[in-house]
Amino acid sequence: MSDLLGQVHAAAGPYLASLASRPVQDSQALSLLAELGGPLPESGDAAEVVERLLRVGTAAGTASAGPRFFHFVTGGVTPAALAADWTAALLDQNAFSKISSPFAHEVEAVALGWLKELFGLPASWGGALVGSATFANFTSLGCATHWWGFQHGVDTAEDGLAELPRMPVLSSGYVHASARKALQMLGHGRNSVTVCARDGVGRVDLGVMRRHLDSLKGAPAVIIANAGEVNAGDFDPVGELADLAREFGCWLHVDGAFGLFARLSPRTSHLVAGVDRADSIAADAHKWLNVPYESGFAFVKDQARLGAAFGMPGAAYLPGPGDPAGGYALYGPESSRRARSLPIFATLAAYGKRGHRDMVERHLDLAQQLAARVDAAPELERLADVQLCIVCFRAVPTGVADLDDFNRRLGAALLADGRVYAGTTVYDGKVALRPAIVNWRTTEADIDVFADVVLELTHKLSQEVGTRAS
């Protein structure tokens, strides 16, 4: 076995060293994927299998852990987090309960405590480490559902939703698809969200939200505040939504997948002011904390709600609610689970509060650098203020009639080129690029490469469009 691990270790050094300069995606190398298929073998050779996975993976894999992957919101992996993730695989703990692994349980307890400290949240809150922000939204809204059923005199964990009306959910146009997906998985349906937006960007209309709440005539409801929306990194006014939630007796959930990290810098903490008045918060560690996938986390103000919503009493061989031998499986959606706390623990311990604040502030600076490059280029147009780590802009070359079509082509050309990655979106009705900067490896030089490649492809594409037109 240690020879196999030696193969991985030998590949790691050169691969990690290559991240600073390799393309995000080498499209030529994708032909290697053919080496993975075929029928299930009768038998095989582990050394050959690992050699093949490493050879194909290091060539054809997407360098999303590298410094020039700006698509979605994608962090990398810090050295401490990577080593701790290898440790988690080595020890193969089941972080189900204190019996299945007292070690994993303890690391998780410490990691959750430190996360609360990092974000300035009360130590008394409950928490759950889950696979993603989608599952953190699921966990949070699962608790909200249980709370809401309780307001109607129904224990939804016991009896489900059948006796209940539809759960009212209100949010701005910033509500993330994964919050809708969570509502869909919880049986409310993704259309349960009433969007209260005042413009095409999706900014919240507090007056409309208030009128909706009034029309509920005291029936309990859930408000979702979005702290860091994905197109431009904007924020709902969490404090004002918290005021509404208090006035109308609502559950306030905050989706802060990456935006919660605005708490770490005095330059941006005002953007999430009031987040500590939420009932639940969802966030991701595999984004701005720079730990490996799959890593999200949820905080719930009323700790007991997690156990009420996610406990699974009734199996004689398992710990029941309140059992001191219980553990985090009784406070979240999963049962058996890997020790995903180890990389979180290690990265927080290794780089500390200051390390994480410095990283966030470096990314704030890099986002401003990119905004300045966009503003300086006549063929580019910035579409939104850069408050955090996302720069929303589009190409506006002269003589191009259909800018949406052009920017869609530009987005496709960026991915086909592969030197840098960014994705397109539709912002206020306009097709735009929305690079997000949350990788600890990204430098000023990487931002310049990104801007240079975008300009190069914009010129190339506008010549092609011009040639076609003439």
Ligand X SMILES: *Cc1c(COP(=O)(O)O)cnc(C)c1O
**Residues near ligand X (CB under 6 A):** 73, 132-134, 176, 178, 228, 230, 255, 257-258, 284, 296
Residue 385 CB, nearest distance to ligand X (Å)? 18
Strand order in the sheet with 380-382: 380-382, 393-395, 430-433, 424-427
The number of angstroms, rounded, from the C-alpha of 459 to the middle of its chain's C-alpha atoms is 33
Return the number of the residue (228 or 397) whose C-beta is nearest ligand X.
Answer: 228
Rounded-to-integer distance, Cα 92 and Cα 71, Å: 31
Element (H, E) at 195: strand 193-195
Residue 61 CB, nearest distance to ligand X (Å)? 19
Return the number of the residue (176 or 357) whose C-beta is nearest ligand X.
Answer: 176
Helices 206-215/238-248 angle, 10° precision: 20
Return the number of the residue (132 or 280) whose C-beta is nearest ligand X.
Answer: 132
Residue 361 CB, nearest distance to ligand X (Å)? 20
Residue 29's alpha-carbon distances to 8, 23, 68, 169, in angstroms, are 20, 11, 18, 46
Return the number of the residue (146 or 176) whose C-beta is nearest ligand X.
Answer: 176
Cα four-point dihedral sign 187, 189, 190, 195: negative
Return the number of the residue (181 or 419) whose C-beta is nearest ligand X.
Answer: 181
Return the number of the residue (359 or 461) whose C-beta is nearest ligand X.
Answer: 359
Residue 133 CB, nearest distance to ligand X (Å)? 3
Residue 221 CB, nearest distance to ligand X (Å)? 20
In this structure, what token pair is assigned to residue 54? Answer: 């490493």
DSSP 71: S
Closest CA to 174 of 250, 259, 248, 243: 259
Residue 425 CB, nearest distance to ligand X (Å)? 12
Torsion of CA 159, 184, 127, 206, to 10 degrees: -110
Residue pointed to by tokens 């889950």: 130
Residues 6+ apart with CB under 8 A from 112: 127, 129, 297, 341
Residue 42 CB, nearest distance to ligand X (Å)? 38
Element (H, E) at 458: helix 444-469
Residue 285 CB, nearest distance to ligand X (Å)? 9
Residues 6+ apart with CB under 8 A from 395: 379, 380, 381, 403, 406, 407, 410, 433, 454, 458, 461, 462
Residue 132 CB, nearest distance to ligand X (Å)? 3
Return the number of the residue (176 or 363) whose C-beta is nearest ligand X.
Answer: 176
Return the number of the residue (133 or 167) whose C-beta is nearest ligand X.
Answer: 133
Return the number of the residue (193 or 451) whose C-beta is nearest ligand X.
Answer: 193
Helices 403-417/444-469 angle, 10° precision: 130
Residue 419 CB, nearest distance to ligand X (Å)? 24
Return the number of the residue (236 or 417) whose C-beta is nearest ligand X.
Answer: 236
Q: Which residues pair with 235 in a beta bridge?
A: 227
Rounded-to-integer distance, Cα 234 and Cα 232, Å: 6
In this structure, what token pair is assigned to residue 364? Answer: 């704030």
By the 10 Å C-beta count (0-12 exposed, 13-18 middle, 19+ buried), 246 is classed as exposed
Helices 303-310/133-151 angle, 10° precision: 90
Residues 6+ apart with CB under 8 A from 254: 224, 225, 226, 227, 238, 260, 275, 278, 280, 281, 282
Return the number of the residue (293 or 345) whose C-beta is nearest ligand X.
Answer: 293
Residue 303 CB, nearest distance to ligand X (Å)? 23
